[in-house]
A and B are shown apart, each in its own frame.
Chain A
Amino acid sequence: MGTAQRDAGWRVRPRRGELWLVELRRRLPVALVAILLTAAAGTAAATAPDFTTLGVVRELGVMLCWSATTIWSASVLVRHVTLADDALPELGTRPWWHVAVGKALVLGGLLLAQHVVTTLVELPTLHDAFGPDLAAAVTHTALAKVASLAAWLTVVLLVATLAALVPGRGRAVTVAVAGLTVVVVGQALLLWRTGAPDTDTFVLGVGSETWTVHLYANVLPLVLTAPAQGVVPGVAWLSVGLDGVVAVVAAATWTTVARRRRWDRLPR
């Protein structure tokens, strides 16, 4: 860089990972709002543990924040992959799939941060439920969440890529939404019929009782009324394994599809 540029205040020395830093800054506000809302609801509930309403508010807040950020993460990837709405990377020399992986990693990191805050907020409840087994439960919770997010983000990438092959923006988005719904519901049914075939009831959300320790059908939190077998029941490991398999299969399929197929990278 010449003297004139330095004197004029231009600091443009290329930095490694500039794209990811910018992407992180672009996505941080939404994630921060979700994290702060979760933390606020959790703190309020913790200061008055006997006030049932605050406990309900905390649970609702956590659920709404998770739902919102889950849909938001999918929309970011669908807008990039399916709709090619982010023109800047499309005009560049990096392949679109490289940018897509970067966006997914940034989103994954922010969603994990949100999960850490959610777990901290829920620690008192978890402590009551698990007592001496708290460490094992929290470790499992972290593992289940990582597998769940990996399954979600890879499936979103795959479905968004397949939807991009459909002509027409409206139709492509419809296919993406339908595809994601089919995968998540399919995983939930598989988990339910395989893990707890004797029960006819389940609820959405994450339970903290020993027999409902954090199950995820893809990104969907699920509580199956299954019999308990230790602090981390077998159905919970099934949930982790299923998400892990889905993540690997989705990633492998996506890699193949993304390499072989081409479609319009700017809206007509």
Chain B
Amino acid sequence: MRRPDAPSNPDVLAVDHLTVRLGRRAVLDDVSLRLTDRGHVVGLFGQNGAGKSTLLRCVAGLLVRHDGTVAVPDGGVALLPDSPFLYPRLRLDAAVRLAADLWADLDAVHAVRTLDRLGLPPRLRVGEASKGMLEQVHLALVLARRRRLTLLDEPLAAVDPLTRDQLVDLLRSHREPGSTVVVSTHLVSGLEDLFDEVVVVHDGRIVLHDEVGAVARRGGLEARVKEVLAGGHRAA
């Protein structure tokens, strides 16, 4: 069992009236969001520039210049940012060692098992890896952290369909009862069975937050997300 026991607090994440400004523009505008179910995979949908990355960075505690509050009662979060963070000259085995030195919560054995299963060679340098491989390495490292809340910012963007399927399989295999994973993406098609909840962000506001089952009953996830984004509903 990699995850610690669940605490008594019911919320996994509580965001209240979060507003983030970049100059005069509100990147996030009075956003409130509560995630209460552990073991869920939450799809965070929205177009480019909708505010998904900013929301995740606020939750991770990396952006502190904001109004409103962010509470993660279970403690810290693991964040996969939307751009690569490993140094290009690192070999993969050295990357795992470095991550283990920097991240006290990293399960290095878990990370190696995942990388090995994906067929990634330990002596491959980060700078020599393809974009798909790079995404797999980053994802494997972040998923190997013992955190109750994991935030993945666009892990499926700009990879080929085969790699995307591998990444989705990796996410599925990571599903654990005590931990919640939030996956930010602007892709909707073919991901219905991955998610338990769906959150849609549009122009810095949350316009939809519902169970995937409920959304599916109203015409399917893809159609509903497109409908919400097109119509700008305030259904949160």
Q: Which A residues contact B (CB, under 8 angstroms)?
A: 1-2, 4-5, 8-15, 17-19, 22, 25-26, 84, 87-94, 167, 262-266, 268
Contact = CB atoms under 8 A, between A and B. Distances in A.
Given A5-B116, A88-B86, A264 B64 contact: yes
Across the A-B interface, give the 7 residue pairs with the lowest CB-CB distance, nearest first. Answer: A92-B102, A87-B85, A18-B101, A266-B62, A12-B96, A93-B104, A265-B62
How would you classify the secondary structure of chain B's contact residues: helix, strand, loop or mixed?
Answer: mixed
A25 B89 contact: yes
B57 interface: yes
Given A5-B116, A8-B116, A264-B65, A91 B79 contact: yes
B100 A12 contact: yes
A21 to B, nearest CB: 9
Contacts of A14: 97, 100-101, 108
Nearest to A17: B101
Contacts of B104: 92-94
B54 A18 contact: no
Contact of A87 (B81, B105, B116): B81
Contacts of B96: 10, 12
Nearest to B22: A268
Nearest to A2: B109
B102 A88 contact: yes
Contact of B97 (A2, A5, A15, A25): A15
Given A5-B109, A12-B108, A90 B123 contact: no
A1 B86 CA distance: 23
A1 B63 contact: no
Given A11-B93, A12-B100, 7 more contacts: A5-B113, A9-B93, A93-B104, A93-B105, A94-B102, A265-B62, A268-B54
B121 interface: yes
A262 B122 contact: no
6 contacts: A10-B93, A12-B112, A19-B101, A94-B102, A263-B65, A265-B61
A90 B62 contact: yes
B133 to A, nearest CB: 16
Contact of A22 (B27, B65, B87): B87
B9 interface: no
A263 B93 contact: no
A91 B113 contact: no
A96 to B, nearest CB: 10
Nearest to A19: B101
A84 B83 CA distance: 14
Nearest to A26: B87
Contacts of B109: 1-2, 5
